[in-house]
């Protein structure tokens, strides 16, 4: 009877997780498994048959110059986006970590873009960086500079996408950093002040180490999000000019739904999936000795 009752209780507890588990199987694990299967075929969605081609799709992609060019664009975007978002977010957190109505309002204003759809944000910045009547060229025109073709210049197009992402995500990073700052006991700063430490020393020796768990969380989540950039690329540049903004997810989409090379696109999905997993695990491993937990 005891074993039966324990089994019933265990099954009852497990049953609460069944809806979430079913959701993950249907919308995550099954599509991933199906993509893995399709990656070994030459299916193009217009034919009912799926011709098995082995590892030909993987061989083609890994020997393609476009693959490494797109990977470079994706990594460049991701690294700059993460560094700028977290760096500016931390700076804003230090500036606005003050209890007052004015600073509460400013924090709300800075956090607001996080809730705006990336589609809407992209449309706004598409107007701002319009070469003919955009606000950006109006401002630099007042400074006596020549107008810039922001989104048709390979040098500036990727930077525009980074600015869009940073503007949207920096408020979230600021709020998370502020939560971390307020969790640091004031006794640490008081004790260090008695020992003669200045603000700069306190920042490097107390604030940054104790913010490391939150920093790790933001690095990992922003890294994964930035690696999957798609909407801003699709709306603002279509991967151009000269493939200067052709990120990995946009290339997958273009390959699957424009070129109808579903098998090859599925192989690219699997390769990209393992790249993200390996780099995330590497971040976790490297940060193991650098993350300090209080107490």
pLDDT in tens, 277-295: 999 898 888 777 677 666 5
pLDDT (average), residues 241-261: 93
Residue 251: closest CA among 49, 51, 18, 68: 68
Work out the pLDDT band at 48, boundaries 50, 70, 90: confident
pLDDT more than 70, % of the chain:
94
Q: Which of 282, 279, 255 is closest to 268 using CA atoms?
A: 255
φ and ψ of 90, to 5 deg: -65, -40
Structure tokens, 145: 């500079």
Q: What is the pLDDT of residue 92?
A: 95
- How far is residue 59's CA from residue 6's CA, in Å, rounded to a whole number? 52
| Cα 164 to Cα 195: distance, rounded to the nearest angstrom | 44
Q: What is the pLDDT of residue 7?
A: 65
At residue 231, the pLDDT reads 94
Is 80 exceeded by the pLDDT of residue 5? no
pLDDT at site 16 = 80
pLDDT at 100: 82
Give the residue-averaged pLDDT of 114-140.
92
Taking residues 2-26, report their average pLDDT.
76
Check whether 2 has a pLDDT greater than 60. Answer: no
Looking at residue 145, its pLDDT comes to: 85
Averaged pLDDT for residues 240-261: 93
User: Is 169 exposed, middle or buried, given 0-12, 13-18 or 19+ CB atoms closer than 10 A?
Assistant: buried
SS3 breakdown of the chain: % helix, strand, coil, rounded to 5?
A: 75, 0, 25
The CA-CA-CA angle for residues 182, 184, 187, to 5°, reads: 120
Q: Structural domains in the chain? A: 35-289 (1.10.3720.10)
Q: How far apart are the first and last CA of the chain?
A: 44
Burial of 202: CB neighbours in 10 Å, binned 0-12, 13-18, 19+: middle
| 62-81 confidence digits (pLDDT tens) | 999 999 999 999 999 999 99
**CA neighbor of 60 nearest in space, from 276, 253, 241, 255:** 255
User: Per-residue pLDDT averaged across 174-203, rounded?
Assistant: 89
Mean pLDDT of the 7-31 span: 81
Distant-in-sequence contacts of 115-123, Cβ < 8 A, 24+ apart: 116/168, 118/168, 118/231, 118/232, 119/231, 119/235, 121/164, 121/167, 121/168, 121/232, 122/164, 122/231, 122/232, 122/235, 122/236, 123/235
């Amino acid at each position: 009877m005891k074993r039966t009752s324990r089994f019933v209780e265990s099954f009852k507890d497990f049953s609460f997780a069944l809806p979430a588990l079913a959701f993950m199987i249907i919308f995550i694990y099954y599509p991933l498994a199906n993509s893995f299967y399709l990656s070994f075929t030459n299916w193009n969605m217009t034919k009912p048959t799926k011709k098995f081609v082995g590892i030909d799709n993987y061989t083609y992609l890994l020997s393609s110059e476009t693959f490494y060019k797109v990977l470079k664009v994706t990594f460049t975007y991701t690294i700059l986006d993460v560094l700028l978002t977290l760096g500016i977010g931390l700076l804003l957190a230090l500036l606005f970590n003050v209890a007052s109505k004015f600073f509460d309002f400013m924090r709300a204003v800075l956090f607001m873009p996080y809730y705006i759809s990336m589609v809407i944000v992209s449309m706004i910045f598409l107007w701002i960086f319009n070469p003919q009547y955009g606000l950006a060229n109006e401002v630099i025109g007042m400074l006596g500079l020549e107008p810039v073709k922001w989104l048709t210049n390979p040098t500036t197009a990727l930077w525009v996408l980074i600015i869009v992402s940073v503007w949207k995500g920096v408020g979230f990073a600021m709020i998370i950093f502020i939560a971390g700052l307020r969790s640091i006991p004031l006794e640490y700063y008081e004790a260090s002040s008695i020992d003669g430490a200045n603000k700069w020393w306190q920042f490097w020796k107390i604030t940054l180490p104790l913010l490391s768990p939150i920093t790790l969380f933001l690095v990992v989540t922003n890294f994964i999000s930035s690696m999957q950039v798609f909407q801003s690329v699709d709306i603002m540049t279509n991967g151009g000019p000269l493939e200067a903004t052709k990120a990995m997810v946009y290339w997958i989409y273009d390959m699957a739904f424009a070129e109808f090379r579903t098998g090859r696109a599925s192989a690219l999905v699997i390769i990209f999936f393992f790249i993200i997993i390996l780099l995330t695990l590497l971040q976790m491993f490297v940060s193991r000795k650098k993350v300090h937990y209080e107490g």
